[in-house]
Every structure is written in structure tokens, then in C-alpha cells.
Chain A
Amino acid sequence: MRANAAQQAGPADAAAKGQGAADGLPVVSLCHVRKSFGEVPVLRDITLEVQRGEVVAIIGASGGGKSTLLRCATLLERMDAGSLSYAGLEVARDEGGRAAYADKATVREARSRFGLVFQGYNLFPHWDVMRNICDAPETVQGRPKEEAEAEARELVRRMGLEGCERKVPCELSGGQQQRVSIARALAMHPDVLYFDEPTSALDPQLTSEVLKVIRGLAEEHMTMVIVTHEMAFARDVADRVVFMDEGRIVEEGTPEQVLVHPTQERTRAFLAHGKD
């Protein structure tokens, strides 16, 4: 029941949704996650919970496991061990040191609870902006065409993409494409929105357009997990910063704690390196 209510609420209602979640369950909860590619361990015992309305920034050097963690949370990658739940919906649980995944219907239900914004946008190139945003609500959720289109138009406006409705992705700048992909994710009314280095492929000008949009969502208390290299942005927008290195969470806390007064040597080294 609660899941349906959450699905019907638009992202603009995220704040109300946060207050309405009386059960207080974290939107997403990953416990003791382990993942190896062959012999190489990529995630070593990661535990991360995200509360409703929270904005979490994950930082760290390349190869530290940030993207893999996001891919496990979005079910693009299977964990070797650990558990994963979306607000009480158990997607995978730990069974004797192995992750046991739930049935297809549960996994499908879980997919409706999150959205993912890719580093490379991954828009559908043969569709115009409107179709990119409307198609999943219509095809996957079976919502009426008029409703999906009206909402898509509203999202286009919020993303500052007026006039681009009938353009195809190759006619847009990288920053515009990334904003379309954010709109596409929001149209599905996710409980939590993941960003995998959303501005890494963009120049500073286009980066700021995209960050502005994400900042706007943060102000509306959209629950978000953002893997980013933009330290200033993380400090500015995140409620919590998580520093990952070599497959572990080394340090986490408020942006002030982690970015300004880090207690761990590795965090300091990473931050110092990032500044030069």
C-alpha cells in the first residue's frame, strides 16, 4: 500500500512524502555488501543506509568501488554477499555469506523505487525529448498518455529545457542531455534517485547547469545518492558525505566533518590530492 502511495506522489511532493513515512524505514539499506570481479574484491563489507529526504554524496578515487556500489544498489550488478532492501522491501538477503535475491516480481517492484542517472546519459537516441521522458511511464507503468505527457511537459519546464520537446538527443548539448535523463528518471516517481558521476562528461559551464538542477531537487528534499568528483558541490548540497577507498567506506559524516576536518589519513590524502 505504502509503495503505491509513494509511486503516485510526484517528486515535488518529496518533502511531504518524507514526513509521511511514519515507519521511519530507510529508503534504501545496503548491509555488509561484498562484491568481487573474479579474484579482485571491489566492495568489502559496505553498509549504507539512506533516510527519506537525505542527500548523500559518495566521493573517492576512481576504482574505489563507488560506481560498483551504485550498480549493486540499482540491480545492474549482483552482490556476492550482503543484503539490500528498499523501505522494507527485501530484494536480497544474506544467507550464510551469500546474497540470496528475491523472486522476479519483488525485483521488479524494487526497480520502481529508484531512478538512475548515468554518467553517459544513455538516452534513447531514436526518440525525441518528450518520448524519452514519457515512454517508460506509459509502457512500464501503464499510465495514460495525456497524464504522462502533461507531467513530462512540467518536467521539461523544471529542467529548463523549454523548446527542446521535439528535439532528439543528438541535437542537444551534453548538459541538456543529462537534464533530460534526470527528467526521464523523475517521471517514474522514484523514492530515491542515484547519480553516477553525472557531470564527469561535461565541461564546467554545462556542469553548472546540471548541478543547479540537482541542487533544486535537494531543496525539494528529493532523496538522492550522488557519486561525484565535485567536492564543492558535495559540500554545498549533501547532508552526508561518504568517502570510499579500496572497496571500503573509510569515513562518513557531514560535509564539514569529512571534507573540512577529516579524521582518517586516507581521506586527507585524497582531499589534498584532489586540490592540486
Chain B
Amino acid sequence: MTIQTMLSMLFGGFQTSLAIFALTLVGALPLGVLVALARQSRIKPLAWLMRIYISIMRGTPLMLQMFAIYFAPYYVFGIQLNPGSKWTAVVVAFIINYAAYFAEIYRSGIQSIPRGQYEAAEVLGYTGSQTFVRIVLPQVVKRILPAMGNEVITLIKDTSLAFSIGVAEMFSTARAIVASQVTMLPFLFAAGIYWVSNFVIESLLAALEHRLDYYHE
């Protein structure tokens, strides 16, 4: 097998990794906000439910969660699994797992906004949702950006966990080539691609941090 063939196979797998990455962000970034708000809700049962949800998501392996979500429809509802089920299970598991982590980061950010901001908004007549969207959230984003950067970088690497359930992302592809061609090169290439992707993400985050640097408290 030529190196070119190897690389093109790896990039094929990388597209799947990227799709998991992108869908997770698109789903988990907004879901995390809702979870964070529900976690701080005045409705106690809702707040407790969110605490338990976050605790389970953080307290058990993501790999196990993928399997649970993959098999749950069959064992609980008797729904027949189809070839697309694995892909759905991976994406759902990633979204609800990452939403829990994001929610805790959002919560730390929301709680760090001084009371005076809420009071100023209240006296000016802003509604609760206007206050959150216009005044609190933009400040939260700036505060949590470094912590979110960590999670996003972890997410790129975590996409390799989809390998365990049999979704052919880049790591699965690399491992298959390694086994069939008896060479370690695919692992080296895969490592390089993961690292370069994260380098790009780090640069984007740094640029975003720089853009938000126009003010401080």
C-alpha cells in the first residue's frame, strides 16, 4: 500500500471524526446552556434532575455511555437496530456527555457575574431573558473561553472513542491499516492529523480570546 493510499484512507476516516466533532459542538454548546440554567433553576426537582444527569455523565466512561445508548432502544423498547444506529448512538452520546461538561463550565461563568450586573439590569427594566442574552451571556463567554478551549481540544481526541463501537473514524481506519499492512506509519500520520487539527483550534481560540480582550472588569 502506498503512503498516498494510506493518507487518503486516513483522511476519509478523519472526515467522520470531524463530523462527530462538529455535530457534538452544534448540539452540546446550546444544550449545555439549557442544562446550566435548569441546574440553577428555582424548581428544585428540575435542578436535582440536572445534578444527577451531570453526575452520571461525568462519573461514567463515555465509551460505556455510547454502548448504553446504542443498545437501549433494543432492550428497553424492542426496536430493531439498523446500520445507522451506531452512528446515531455515537453522536447522541457525545452530545449529552459534552453538554454536561459544558453546563458546568457555563455555570461557573454565570455564577462569577457580579450581582450588581443583574441589579442594574433589573432597575433598567430588562426582562430576565433579555438580561441573560444581552448582558450575562456575552460576559460569560469571555470568562469561560480558556476552560472551553480545554474541552474542545479533548473532544477532537475523544472522537477516537467511536472506534470501540465500530464507527470508522480516523483511529479505527489507522488501526485497520496497521493490522493489515504491518506498519506503524498510520498511527504516526493519525497522531499528526490530530495534533494539526488541535493546533488550528488553539489558534482560533487564541484569536477569539484576543478579540474579546477589548475590555476587562
Kindly list chain B residues whose C-beta atoms are within 8 Å of the C-beta of A188: 124-125
Kindly list chain B residues whose C-beta atoms are within 8 Å of the C-beta of A112: 125
Q: A122 on the interface (CB 8 Å rule)?
A: yes
Q: A139-B134, A188-B125 are in contact. Are A124 and B116 (CB under 8 A)?
A: no
Closest Cβ of chain A: how far from B210's Cβ, in Å? 15
Q: A125-B215, A170-B216 are in contact. Are A139 and B117 (CB under 8 A)?
A: no
Q: Report yes or no: B126 in contact with A168, Cβ–Cβ below 8 A.
A: no
Q: Report yes or no: A125 in contact with B116, Cβ–Cβ below 8 A.
A: no
Q: A36 on the interface (CB 8 Å rule)?
A: no
Secondary structure of the B contact surface, majority rule: helix
Q: Report yes or no: B120 in contact with A118, Cβ–Cβ below 8 A.
A: yes
Q: B138 on the interface (CB 8 Å rule)?
A: yes
Which of the listed residues B117, B126, B215 has the most CB atoms from chain A within 10 Å of its own CB?
B215
Q: Report yes or no: A120 in contact with B215, Cβ–Cβ below 8 A.
A: no
Query: What is the size, in residues, of chain B's interface with A at 8 Å between Cβ atoms?
Result: 20
Kindly list chain B residues whose C-beta atoms are within 8 Å of the C-beta of A123: 120
Which of the listed residues B114, B117, B123, B217 has the most CB atoms from chain A within 10 Å of its own CB?
B123
Q: Report yes or no: A169 in contact with B215, Cβ–Cβ below 8 A.
A: yes
Kindly list chain A residues whose C-beta atoms are within 8 Å of the C-beta of B117: 122, 124
Kindly list chain A residues whose C-beta atoms are within 8 Å of the C-beta of B116: 118, 120, 122
The contact of A111 among B123, B142, B215, B216, by CB within 8 Å, is B123
Q: B139 on the interface (CB 8 Å rule)?
A: yes
Secondary structure of the A contact surface, majority rule: loop
Q: Report yes or no: B138 in contact with A136, Cβ–Cβ below 8 A.
A: no
Q: Report yes or no: A125 in contact with B217, Cβ–Cβ below 8 A.
A: yes
Query: What is the size, in residues, of chain A's interface with B at 8 Å between Cβ atoms?
Result: 26
Q: A1 on the interface (CB 8 Å rule)?
A: no
Q: Report yes or no: A116 in contact with B123, Cβ–Cβ below 8 A.
A: yes
The contact of A122 among B120, B134, B214, by CB within 8 Å, is B120
Closest Cβ of chain B: how far from A137's Cβ, in Å? 9
Kindly list chain B residues whose C-beta atoms are within 8 Å of the C-beta of A17: none
Q: A124-B117, A126-B139 are in contact. Are A136 and B122 (CB under 8 A)?
A: no
Interface residues of B in 103-138 (CB under 8 A from A): 114, 116-117, 119-120, 122-126, 130, 134-135, 138
Nearest A residue to B127, CB-CB: A140
Closest Cβ of chain B: how far from A163's Cβ, in Å? 17
Closest Cβ of chain B: how far from A190's Cβ, in Å? 10
Q: Report yes or no: B215 in contact with A168, Cβ–Cβ below 8 A.
A: yes
Q: A115 on the interface (CB 8 Å rule)?
A: yes
Kindly list chain B residues whose C-beta atoms are within 8 Å of the C-beta of A124: 117, 120, 135
How many angstroms from the CA of A224 to the CA of B171 in the assembled complex? 69
Kindly list chain A residues whose C-beta atoms are within 8 Å of the C-beta of B215: 125-126, 168-170
Q: A135 on the interface (CB 8 Å rule)?
A: yes
How many angstroms from the CA of A125 to the CA of B135 in the assembled complex? 9
Kindly list chain B residues whose C-beta atoms are within 8 Å of the C-beta of A116: 120, 123
How many angstroms from the CA of A123 to the CA of B214 in the assembled complex? 15
Q: Mark A98-126, 1 if CB is under 8 A from B, else 0.
A: 00000000001001101110101011111
- A selection of 6 A-B contacts at a CB cut-off of 8 Å is A74-B123, A76-B123, A124-B120, A125-B139, A126-B139, A139-B126
Nearest 5 Cβ contacts at the A-B interface: A122-B120, A122-B116, A136-B124, A140-B125, A168-B215
